[in-house]
Amino acid sequence: MYSEDRRMKIIQILNKTDKALSASYLGEILGVSRQIIVGDIALLRAQNNEIISTNRGYILKKDENKKYKEIFWVKHDGKRTKEELNIIVDAGAKILDVIVEHNIYGCIKADLNLSSRREVENFVEKLNKNDNRSLSSLTNMEHYHTVEADSKEILEFIEGELKKNSFLVNS
């Protein structure tokens, strides 16, 4: 597992629980040492992830307005971009960004902030104009989306729909 994949998995794991998880426990799950997890947490904090250290482990700070976030690892050809994004916004969620892990440049992130079919349509139109290319074209079409929703249930529904439609990697 690449380091950026592992860090995204840490965020996913912390996002799915309200209890503190130790670096040792996270290391066991992800097959790395406690020290690697401690370093990953430091890097995640540097990327503006609000991770709180307690005497029992790490907790991901939840937004005051009770929004929940999930990072989905997806892959599809360019013809399915609109379909993928519409699955997410149709469930009532917001697509905050797209992230790719480039083998030379590392993590590349671009804000999207898409929350409706109209915004998806405008984005896809711009993407298709003048031979523009998506960030995922740099990484064999694999990419991540940070998705924000009002409940964990919405995120679970989205995960199920992305899986059912063969968008999720490692599903």
Which architecture, in CATH terms, is 68-164? 2-Layer Sandwich (3.30)
Q: Strands, E, within the chain: which ranges? A: 51-54, 57-60, 68-75, 94-102, 106-114, 142-149
- What mean pLDDT is predicted for residues 115-134? 89
Ordered by start, the domain boundaries in the chain are: 3-60, 68-164
The length of the chain, given as a count of residues: 171
Smallest CA-to-CA distance from 113 within 95, 127, 125 is with: 95
CA 25, 29, 152, 48 dihedral sign is positive
111: Cα within 13 Å, side-chain hemisphere? 1
Q: Of residues 47 and 116, which shows the higher confidence score?
A: 116
| Count of C-beta atoms within a 10 Å radius of residue 102 | 12
Place of tokens 């040492």: 33
Residue 89 has pLDDT above 80, yes or no: yes
Strand-pair partners of 120:
none
Name the pTM for this structure: 0.62
Q: What is the mean pLDDT of the segment spanning 127-152?
A: 83
Q: Does domain 3-60 have CATH number 1.10.1740.10?
A: no
pLDDT digit string (tens) for 13-46?
998 888 899 999 999 999 999 999 999 999 998 8
